Amino acid sequence: MTKARRGPLPIPVPADATDVHVWGPRPFITQVHYRAADGHEVDWSARRHRKTDDLSRGLTWWIGLLFAIGSLCFLIGAIPAFENAVGIAATDVTFFVGSLIFTTASYLGYLQVIRAAGRRWVGWTPQIMGFWATLIQLVGALFFNGSTLAALLSLNNEQAAERVWRPDAFGCVCFLVASALAFSEAGHRWFSWRPGKRDWHITTLNMWGSVFFAISAVGAYVTTDGDLLNESLATWGTILGAAFFLVASLLMMPEGRNPAKDHD
Q: What is the pLDDT of residues 22-66, one digit of tens each?
A: 999 999 999 999 999 888 898 999 999 899 887 777 899 999 999
Reported confidence tier of residue 1, pLDDT bands at 50, 70, 90 = very low
pLDDT for 210 equals: 98
Is residue 214 within 8 Å of residue 236, measured between CB atoms? no
* Closest to 264 measured CA to CA, from 17, 33, 105: 33
The percentage of the chain sitting over the pLDDT mark of 70, rounded to a whole number, equals 91
pLDDT for 11 equals: 82
pTM: 0.90
pLDDT for 4 equals: 45
Nearest-10 crossing angle of helices 231-252, 57-78: 160
Q: Give strand pairing partners of 42.
A: 34
pLDDT tens track for 60-93: 999 999 999 999 999 999 999 999 999 988 999 9
Mean pLDDT of the region 195-222: 95
Q: Give strand pairing partners of 44.
A: 32
- Please, what's the b/e burial string for 118-151 (b: 16 or more CB within 10 A of its CB; e: otherwise)? eeeeeeebeebbbbbbbbbbbbbbbbbbbbbbbb
The yes-or-no verdict on residue 222 having pLDDT over 90 is no
